[in-house]
């Protein structure tokens, strides 16, 4: 990792952090309309992976997708406008928080049904192989999706055909409202795929350096035609499953403890120690993110709601026939 990589990572993580926290506040006043799942605490995984990808690499995510979309290059103001249901939104207000798509940047889609995205990424990996380039497919999912048939069917086929698919599991220990121990006897997601003998690794997902390095290695190998890979990132979902979830099923993490675990603060401390940045630059990076998020809220507020004609227009695609 270079000083410049660290700056890019910090910028990406602060953008996600402030975006998510702002969305949480907008949700409380219903300026953000629908069902919202925030990824506060998990920024290290989105940034440590997506910043290494190209626009022609296909990325899929699930219901907690804001961070992945932003890290993959989706314009922050249009993601905010989407959450506010506006015509200028990333998906013209048709998808919302759980269904972000940004084809231009290779963010091929997010699904609201746990596990549904995983076989779709398999299709992108198959397409990448068939097209003959070195593009890859990456899919993000939580530990809850691993118990779904989608995951197991996909792992089997990706391994059978050796496809350039990198599966990134954000293991935050909770499948929606339930701890992993209530769902399975297998503690480590990376162990679930052991019989397929695919390359797999469990890392501390709040250690951006570890995510960056291991994912970078998998990516380089996938570009050379190897695959699939599974990267399990142990991380922390600071908020409830959805905005409004009182999360009575677990104890909140003490602030002091979180300061030690926070992926952003950890990278900041490392970057300072390496003398890559100084305190002034760190403050500037965060301030820039805050400003961008505020500008996005203003952009959303100024944008019109979509016209009703859009609904019928988008049911079917026109045919070449």
Partner 1 sequence: MSHELPYIAAIDEAIRLEMERDESVIYFGQNMATTENAPYRQAFGDDRVRVTPISETAEIGMAVGAALAGFRPVVELYMAEFMLVAMDQVTNEAPRFRAMSGGQVKVPLVLKAGWGFTAGWAGQHTGTLTNMFMGVPGLKVVSPSTAADAKGLMATAIRDDNPVVYFHNYLLTLDHGEVPDGEHLVPFGVADVRREGSDVTIVANAHMLNQSLKAAETLAGEGIQAEVIDPRTYAPLDVDTILTSVGKTGRLVLVDSAPRHSAASNVIAGEVVERGFDLLKAPIVQVTALDATVPYSEPLEAYVIPDADRVAAAVRGVLGTAPVGV
Candidate residues 91, 189, 264, 285; the one interacting with partner 1 per rule CB under 8 A: 91
Sign of the torsion formed by the C-alpha atoms of 51, 54, 57 and 61: positive
Alpha helices (H) along 29-148: 43-50, 66-72, 76-83, 117-131
Region binding partner 1 by CB under 8 A among candidate stretches 88-96, 197-205, 240-248, 285-293: 88-96
Q: Is 181 exposed, middle or buried, given 0-12, 13-18 or 19+ CB atoms closer than 10 A? A: exposed
Comparing CB distances to partner 1, the nearer of 169 and 282 is: 169
Site for partner 1 contains 137 (CB under 8 A): yes
How many beta carbons lie within 10 A of that of residue 14, not counting itself?
23
**Binding track over 300-319 against partner 1, x by CB under 8 A:** ----------xx-xxxxxxx
Beta carbons within 8 Å of 104's beta carbon, 6+ residues apart: 55, 73
Q: Does 153 bind partner 1 (CB under 8 A)?
A: yes
Binding-site string for partner 1 from residue 101 to residue 120, where x marks contact by CB under 8 A and - marks none: xxx----xx-xxx-xx-xxx
With CB under 8 A as the contact rule, the residue among 24, 73, 75, 123 that binds partner 1 is: 123
Show contacts with partner 1 in window 42-61 (CB under 8 A): 58, 60
Task: Determine the Cα–Cα distance for residues 185 and 192; give it in Å rounded to an integer.
Answer: 10
Both tokens assigned to 244: 């409004």
35 contacts partner 1 (rule: CB under 8 A): no
Q: CB of 58: closest distance to partner 1 in angstroms?
A: 7
Q: How many CB atoms neighbour CB 218 within 10 A?
A: 27
Please, is 207 exposed, middle or buried when counting C-beta atoms within 10 Å of its C-beta (0-12, 13-18, 19+)?
buried
Residue 162 contacts partner 1 per CB under 8 A: no
Residue placing its CB nearer to partner 1 in the complex, 114 or 234: 114
The answer to whether 84 and 26 are in contact (CB under 8 A) is yes
Pick the binder of partner 1 from 25, 133, 160, 301 (CB under 8 A). 160
Report the interface residues with partner 1, using CB under 8 A. 58, 60, 89-95, 99, 101-103, 108-109, 111-113, 115-116, 118-128, 130-131, 137, 149-150, 153-154, 156-157, 160-161, 310-311, 313-321
């Amino acid at each position: 990792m270079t000083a410049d990589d660290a700056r890019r990572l910090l910028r990406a993580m602060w953008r996600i952090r402030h975006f998510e926290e702002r969305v949480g506040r907008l949700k409380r006043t219903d300026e953000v309309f629908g069902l919202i799942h925030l990824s506060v605490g998990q920024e290290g995984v989105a940034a440590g992976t997506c910043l290494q990808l190209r626009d022609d690499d296909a990325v899929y995510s699930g219901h907690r997708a804001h961070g992945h979309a932003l890290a993959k290059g989706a314009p922050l103001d249009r993601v905010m406008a989407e959450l506010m249901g506006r015509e200028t939104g990333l998906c013209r207000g048709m998808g919302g928080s759980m269904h972000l798509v940004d084809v231009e940047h290779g963010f091929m889609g997010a699904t609201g049904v746990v596990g549904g995205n995983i076989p779709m990424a398999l299709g992108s990996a198959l397409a990448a192989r068939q097209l003959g380039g070195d593009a890859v497919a990456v899919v993000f999912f939580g530990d809850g999706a691993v118990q779904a048939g989608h995951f197991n069917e996909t792992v089997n086929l990706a391994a059978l055909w050796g496809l350039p698919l990198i599966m990134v599991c954000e293991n935050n220990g909770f499948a929606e409202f339930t701890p992993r121990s209530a769902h399975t006897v297998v503690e480590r997601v990376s162990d679930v795929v052991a019989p397929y003998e695919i390359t797999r690794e469990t890392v501390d997902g709040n250690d951006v350096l570890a995510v960056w390095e291991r994912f970078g290695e998998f990516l380089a190998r996938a570009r050379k035609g190897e695959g699939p890979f599974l990267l399990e990132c142990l991380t922390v979902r600071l908020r409830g499953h959805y905005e409004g979830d009182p999360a009575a099923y677990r104890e909140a993490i003490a602030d002091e403890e979180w300061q030690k675990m926070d992926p952003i603060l950890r990278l900041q401390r490392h970057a300072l120690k390496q003398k890559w940045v100084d305190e002034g630059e760190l403050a500037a990076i965060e301030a820039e993110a805050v400003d961008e998020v505020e500008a996005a809220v203003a952009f959303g507020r100024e944008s019109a709601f979509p016209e009703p004609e859009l609904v019928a227009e988008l049911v079917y695609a026109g045919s070449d026939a």
